[in-house]
Every structure is written in structure tokens, then in C-alpha cells.
Structure 1
Amino acid sequence: MSDRTVAGGDDIGPARGTAGYAEAADALALQYEEVTFEEVHRDVLSLVPAGPARVLDIGAGTGRDAAALAASGHSVVAVEPTAELRAHARRIHAGSAIEWVDDVLPSLALHRCPGRFDAVFATAVWMHLDAAEREQAMARIAALLVPGGRFFVNLRHGPVPDGRHMFDVSAAETAELGATHGLRTLLSSERSDLHGRDSVRWSSLVLQASDSHHALD
């Protein structure tokens, strides 16, 4: 594994969900890195694979989570469509064994990183997708999980920052959508914002594929 970037799709084009991130990349790099992987995912840490696993981090930003997972011995593919954030990731986490991919939900082609994953993370990503995109994305993620693999979803609730493209997506809706694609809910929790924003709260979910999960398309 390396910190190089590979193109994940033939032509992913601009994604609405990435609106506002390139312009704010410098500030976001500071914000993302001032909290740790363990703090962000404290409610679900016991469900993260303990031994070496193949992990996909979608919307990896500056690589905070990807680097922590790689440091734990996992093989990590990090998807981030915003070049400015990937540049910060290389600077901040230089030397981390992360395979960076320029790709985006809901299609998430991953042409150069085929195969399935033991765990998939989507932290502060899912609310950028509209209803049709969420349906397509859930089907894609379900197909990317090994039997018994887990999908870790972190949802932001609150006012939409200027220039961003977000939807109000509940934990219940996300769990229900996962169930339609054979993913059962292992955990659903809520917490306040780690950056002290009173108007923002977060939901964490872990959805698991069945042990008899269908093969990857």
C-alpha cells in the first residue's frame, strides 16, 4: 500500500456533495485533525475489526481515520474526490500505508481497487446524497462487503453550512435502507458535536452484512 492516488472511475466528474470543500480545505484540515479517530468513533470502536482487515474509507478527507486504521494494521483504501483535501492528507499523514482513490458515491467504481472489504466507513458523507443516490450507494456498499462485513455510518444533523450540499437524513431511515439490502443494524447511537457547535449533533450506525451475503457484482 502507498499514499499515491489512483483514479477510481472512468470519468467521475464533479460531485454535488463535494461542493464547498475545495474552497474550505485549509480550514477543514485543521478542524478534521483536531479530534481523533477514537473520539469520533468512540461508540463503535468495539465493532471495528480487531485483527488485520481490508477497510474502505469513503470521503476520507485529510486521512485522519484512514491513517489510524492503517496504523492498527489494516489494509486501507481511502476514497476522497477533493484534490485539495488529498493534498493535505499526504502532508499530514506522510508515510501512512494508505491507498488513495479519486472516486465518489453513489457509483464508486473502484476499478483499480477491486474486491470486497471487511469494513466500510462513511463519516460525514451519507447526508450529501439525495434519496435516489442513497439507494444506489447502499446497494453498492452492500455489494462491497464480505459476508459478515460491517458498514460504519456517521451522520451529521443540523444547519447546512453555506455553499454545501446536504440533506436531512435520519438514522432510522439509514437503518431501514440498509435492511432492504440485507444489512442488519448492530448499533445506533447519538452524540453532541465534538467541536462545540450546539446546533449540530451526530448519529453513528453500524450495519452488518449477513454471513451468507451475495457475491460482488
Structure 2
Amino acid sequence: MTYRGTRGYAAEADALARQYESLSSDQVLGDVLPLLPEKPGRVLDVGAGTGRDAAALALRGHAVTAVEPTAELRAHGRRLHSHAGIEWLDDTLPDLTAVRGTYDAVLLVAVWMHLDPDERPRAMRRLADLLASRGVVLLTLRHGPTPPGRHMFDVPADETVAHAAEAGLRTVHRSAWDDLLGRPDVHWTTLAFARS
């Protein structure tokens, strides 16, 4: 099944894999790494791409489930990070129907902007349902123009915070940063949520 939010990713998977892997997980998640569980826990990486972040977290001792709806990116992830012991699922927001149980951390790096406005409240409720009692949701928002051929939105951070509050989550971190790939018209917000 093809999802609107994955439009353009299959055709560009090889180039995107090189781009994703050119950055380290520590670079992307640096300011929120202290919010991750200290002890090994269950981590869900939604929209995992090539598994860069999933692999880094697995190597820290976490049991990681990586959700990626684009088969070509999953294939790159399995090839590049076969040593990490990641469980891969073909699934997507807003419903994540293949995902079971609860998680100590739920990660969404460059994912939220693919959801339609009416999907975002439902997706946030689903994330809240998947969160363990002391768990954390870590989410990055991309701001800037939509690349040609993509299904993407510039989602305001305040809207995302409001959806989280409606789903029973409180904001525990908010930061803004420049694009790590040097694109001058792109910038990012990182948000972290925990149970209220």
C-alpha cells in the first residue's frame, strides 16, 4: 500500500539513504538524548527511514522497533544496520495498526510534517496510547518549503503542543535549530512530551 506521506521516497531511496546516513543520531538528537531512558527499554522509531537512529538506540541497549512504510528505505536499513537487532515493521501513522504494546520512548524524526491536518490529532492520541507510564515522545518538525513531489506541511510547533495536551501529554522540551544539511530555507523544532 502507498501512503500519501511517502510520496517520492521510493524513487529517491538511494539518494535519501546517503543523505540520512551522512548525519549521526547524536547530531540529530543531541539536545534530547538525556530524556531517553537510562536503562535499556523499549523504543519505537516511527518513520525510521534507514534506521540510523534506531540502530544508535539499539547499540545503547534498547529493544528497538523501527516502523517504515517505504520498502526501499526498509531494505537500506536492514542492509546498513543488520548488526543492530532492530525489529522492522511496515506501518504508518496515524493508526500504526501493526504496532503492539507500550514503549519507554517513541521517536519521530522528520515524520510529523507528512500528516494531513485532520490526521494529526488522531496520530497524537495513538502515540499517547503507545507510551509507557514514564515514557517520552521525541518529535522533530521540519519548517520550510516543500520539496517537489512530496506530501508535506510546515506544521507549527504550537499546534503540535496543543494536540499533545489534548492527548494527555505535557511538553518537557522545546528547542529550535538550523538545518544540519546546510539548507538555508529549512529549520527545525524538537519537541518532547511525557504523560501529564
Q: What is the TM-score when the length of structure 1 is the normalising length?
A: 0.89
Give the length in aligned residue pairs.
Answer: 196
Confirm or deny that 1:75 pairs with 2:63.
Answer: yes
- 1:22 maps to what in 2? 10
Confirm or deny that 1:184 pairs with 2:170.
Answer: yes
The percent identity for this pair of structures is: 57
Aligned-residue RMSD, C-alpha: 0.8
Counterparts of 2:129 and 2:82, CA distance in 1: 31
Whose relative contact order is higher, 1 or 2, with alpha carbons under 8 Å and at least 6 apart?
Answer: 1
Counterparts of 2:100 and 2:113, CA distance in 1: 25
Confirm or deny that 1:167 pairs with 2:142.
Answer: no
Shift of 1:148: 2.0
Q: Which amino acid aligns with 2:10?
A: A
**Would you say the 8 A contact 2:169–2:195 is kept in 1?**
yes
Q: Deviations over 1:115-163 (max 9, x none)?
A: 1111100110001001111011001010010112111001111111111
- 2:102 maps to what in 1? 116
Counterparts of 1:161 and 1:144, CA distance in 2: 31
Shift of 1:30: 0.4
Confirm or deny that 1:205 pairs with 2:191.
Answer: yes
SS at match of 2:105: strand
Confirm or deny that 1:154 pairs with 2:140.
Answer: yes
Report runs of 4+ in structure 1 exceeding 3 Å deviation.
Answer: none
- 1:49 maps to what in 2? 37
- 1:143 maps to what in 2? 129
Q: Which runs of 5+ in 1 are unaligned?
A: 1-12, 211-217
Q: 2:84 aligns with which of 96, 99, 112?
A: 96
Q: Which runs of 5+ in 2 are unaligned?
A: none
Shift of 1:77: 0.4
Counterparts of 1:94 and 1:204, CA distance in 2: 28
Counterparts of 1:62 and 1:165, CA distance in 2: 19
